[in-house]
Structure 1
Amino acid sequence: MKKYAFNDITLMQYIFLIAGIQLGIGLLQLPRELAERAGTDGWIAIVIGFVIATCSSLMIIQVMKRHPEGTLFDLLKRYVGKWAGQAAAVVTALYFAFFSYTIMVRAVLFVRSWILPKTPDIVMLILLAVPSYLVARGGVRVLGRYAELVFYITLWMPFFYLLSLRESNWLYLLPLFKEGLQPILLAVKPALFAFLGFEVAFLLYPFLKSKQYASQGIIVANTLALLVYLHVTVTCNVFYSPDTITHFNEPSVNVLKTMEFRFIERLEIVFLAFFVIIISTTWLPGMYFTVFSINWMFGREDHRKLLQWLMLLFVTSMFFVKPSFNKTDKWIEVVNLLGICFGYLFPYVLWLYVWIHDRVQWRRRGT
């Protein structure tokens, strides 16, 4: 019997889970970060980041095919030893805990600066923590359904950005490679950070029903993130001048302030509320896989009580941590550095080890 069959997910849920994690904070700030490094050529860095992220994603799938019914921890336990699985579970739990906490706090700061400036941070975190627990306690299957639902209810949002093109200047994008290749290569770094999230495939793979389509699914997830990032970045680049876009912290939200309708005055407020829903598909899987990793170490299956403690820890931390954009920027830098090691470097190292291990075992059996 499959170990994780009780909570398996469909291919579509698998795709939207990965794409949802990728479309986190980068959706709001990526256009500015790219413009600061490469100007209007920043969209080229997104394409380069997509290629690198897709290669690393496919390497994860190739590694997980060696032990299809288990997670990364089960694979390491089989190939290296029990201690390796335990160590990986600890590191992964810490990574996803810090990752989800950073994204939640960042979402609180966005809401406070745009919608509720006088509401205490701890109150907003509680308002986010309660529904987050109700969703995450259902496990991977519920998270997959939630990610799929969020995709469908936010499918209308990119079309509103097309309205800004009436006042845009496409000549801002020309000529290509204005300052050479070096600025674009420097902009690849934030682009790689924006595509982080595919590393969750290390833990999602055994839950997938149709594992033969895992590679195609992760390519589709990366492509969805690519299309969204390109759409938002190009729209901001042709709407703002190359010098103006860097003056806005979240240009993808500011561009909406120019749109007005008779039935609504501040469209960006409505969009920001939906942006928070999109960002929730980033921190929710992080929360779940934090407690999943801890439960794996102790051989437990019920994650609800541990999830309650995690939520309580997040909320009480607000009494001691006074979050700010500058402080969370430093946290995001740490998360990104860990993500580069975990998502972009570790799959190749693990694949090489597994390949050598299997070759050695094959030769031993041959003799």
Structure 2
Amino acid sequence: MNHVEVKEKYKVSPFYVIFLVHSMQTGVGVLSFQRVLAKPAGTDGWISILLAGLIVHILIWIIYKILSIVPGDIISANNHAFGKWIGNFFSLLFILYFLILGMDMIISYINVIHVWMFAGVASWAFTVVLLLLIYYINTGGFRTITGIAFLSVIFSYWIFFVLIYAMKYSEFTNLLPIFDHNLLDILKGTRSTSLTMLGFEMILMFYPFIKDAKTSQKYAHGGAIATTLLTVLIYLVSLIFYSQKQLELTIWPTLTMTSIVELPFIQRFEYIEISWWAIFVIPNMTICLWAASRGIKRIFNVQQKYPLWAMSIIILLTNIFVFDQDSLSVLNKIINPYAVLFLVLYLPLLLAIIYIKKRRKRL
């Protein structure tokens, strides 16, 4: 089962890749990335974001290069490069990563709901609601998932209202001094912000579901550019709204900034933002679990609904028995930096091996 064929009716237009990539990168991390970035990079954190964005573009180019040589998905590429058994081992690592990333997003969002809105409601209750919704969207197929991702991007840009509102209470001298940090601090900042930039690697799984997939590369880069620019803008507004020390101590700077918004008909605007943020987070969770269950389907030749059920149960049990701030911290530490490092090292290596095998065949 090395090669994968997807019927034309299940495929989406290349243009929608911009929304799939952008929606995957714009999740819960946008609410809190400023704090972990401000500690090492301070006023030069925007340079770290741009550098992280550049790395994302290089990795997207590598992904498309791999899949142009080996048609299919990451499982096809792994099997082509390493053979069935070793290839499936690396594919299972990717599946585990997709599952952990999805679990991290679910737990992170529920943690925000707990702290800001419903402290007394059990976490498993929120988990059940989210998992049922994710399962329902997944059963609609990849075109349905793409539609949800499209809507999430369209609805996400109301955040500009919050940013413009916050600028009324900002101090622009907080942006100074510029270029005050050394290269090591900038690189530490890049590592800190990498969790916010993740999501583009889902191309490795949904590539076969894109019509004329090779033409979608420019849209993948477009989605990554949109995420990078939005992240830079949010960070710059956060810098001028907070002092340096405030930004380092505030757990969810974007949410705290939202709490200053006052409208005649709304008292607690941040409640609306947290509820509204579900529209942005649900595509993240859905695509992660779709990618993980799709990978299991490809390797073990089972119906996709069975691994999806199993993964949902694992996430639910995790929320019931080990849900707390410490477990969330552990998940974040697994993904960042280890998962990021794995992607940065593994994808170029995979491309090199596939390219060498291709040249040997020519000879």
Query: Smaller-chain TM-score range?
Result: over 0.9
Q: Does 1:339 align with 2:342?
A: no
- Worse-superposed segment, 132-141 or 333-342: 333-342
Deviates further, 52-61 or 175-184: 175-184
Unaligned runs of 5+ in 2: none
Aligned residues: 360
* 8 A contact 2:191–2:336 mirrored in 1: no
Q: Residue 33 in 1 paired to residue 10 in 2? A: no
Distance 2:38 2:4 in 1: 48
In 2, the alpha carbon distance for the partners of 1:305 and 1:355 equals 35
2:327 corresponds to: 327
* Separation in structure 2 between the aligned mates of residue 157 and residue 122 of structure 1, nearest angstrom: 29
Contact 2:259 2:270 in 1 (8 A): yes
- How far did residue 252 of structure 1 move? 0.6
Per-residue CA deviations over 1:261-296 (Å, capped at 9, x if unaligned) read 101011111111122321222221111111111111
CA contact 2:43–2:177 (8 Å) conserved in 1: no
Q: Note the 1:88-167 alignment, pairs <5 A.
A: 88-167=90-169
Please say which of residues 218-227 and 89-98 is displaced more in the overlay: 89-98
Contact 2:23–2:280 (8 Å) recurs in 1:
yes
Partner of 1:224: 226
C-alpha contact (below 8 Å) 1:38/1:183 kept by paired residues? yes
Q: Deviation digits for residues 92-112 of structure 1, max 9, x if unmatched?
A: 221111221121111111111
State the 1:19 CA deviation. Answer: 1.6
Structure 1 segment 14-93 matched on structure 2, within 5 A? 14-68=17-71, 70-93=72-95
Letter of the 2:356 partner, please give it: I
Segments of structure 1 that go 5 or more residues without pairing to the other structure are none
Determine the C-alpha separation between the residues in 1 that align with 2:23 and 2:342: 18
Report SS of the residue matched to 1:346. Answer: helix
Cross-structure match for 1:170: 172
Amino acid at match of 2:36: E
1:9 aligns with 2:30: no
1:359 match: 359
2:304 paired residue number = 303
Decide whether aligned partners of structure 1 residues 46 and 62 sit closer, same or farther in structure 2, where only a CA change above 3 A counts: same
Matched letter for residue 46 of structure 2: W
Offset of 1:349 from its aligned partner?
0.3
Fraction of identical pairs, as percent: 21
Per the alignment, residue 290 of structure 2 pairs with: 288
- TM-score using structure 1 length: 0.93
SS of corresponding position for 2:244: coil
* CA drift at 1:188: 1.1
Name the CA distance, whole Å, in 1 between partners of 2:195 and 2:241. Answer: 24
Deviations along 1:73-127, one digit per CA (max 9) or x if unpaired, are: 1123234322234223322221111221121111111111111111011111112
> Normalized against structure 2, the TM-score is what?
0.94
Q: Which one is further off, 273-282 or 75-84? A: 75-84
Q: Which amino acid is 1:11 matched to? A: P
What secondary structure does 1:65 align onto? helix
Does the 8 Å CA contact 1:15/1:220 hold for their aligned counterparts? yes
Q: Alpha carbons of 1:82 and 1:112: their partners in 2 closer, same or farther (altered >3 Å)?
A: same
Point out the more displaced range, 57-66 or 19-28. Answer: 19-28
Aligned CA RMSD, in angstroms, stands at: 1.8
Cα pair 1:49 1:192 within 8 Å, conserved: yes
Alignment partner, residue 233 of structure 1:
235
Report the 3-state secondary structure (helix = DSSP H, G, I; strand = E; otherwise coil) of the residue aligned with 1:258.
coil
CA positional deviation for 1:350: 0.8
Question: 1:35-67 CA distances to partner (integer Å, 9 max, x unpaired)?
Answer: 111112111110011111111111111111012
CA contact (8 A) 1:108 1:124 kept: yes
Matched with 2:245 is 243
Which of structure 1's runs of 4+ aligned residues deviate more than 4 A?
Answer: none
Structure 1 residues 136-191: Cα deviation after superposition (integer angstroms, max 9, x where no partner): 22232211111001111233222331111111111111221124443222211112
Residue 12 of structure 2 contacts residue 211 of structure 2 at CA under 8 Å; is this kept in 1? yes
1:205/1:214 contact within 8 Å kept:
no
* Letter of the 2:185 counterpart: P
* CA shift for structure 1 position 320: 2.2
Aligned positions of 1:254-293 closer than 5 A: 254-293=256-295
Aligned equivalents of 2:332 and 2:10: distance in 1?
Answer: 31
| 8 Å CA contact retained: 1:53, 1:344 | no
Q: CA deviation at 1:2?
A: 7.2
Change (3 A) 1:185 1:93: closer
Check the 8 A contact 1:164/1:239 in 2, yes or no.
yes
Contact 2:50/2:228 (<8 A) preserved: yes
Q: Partners in 1 of 2:84 and 2:165 — Cα distance?
A: 56
Which piece of structure 1 moves more, 147-156 or 112-121?
147-156
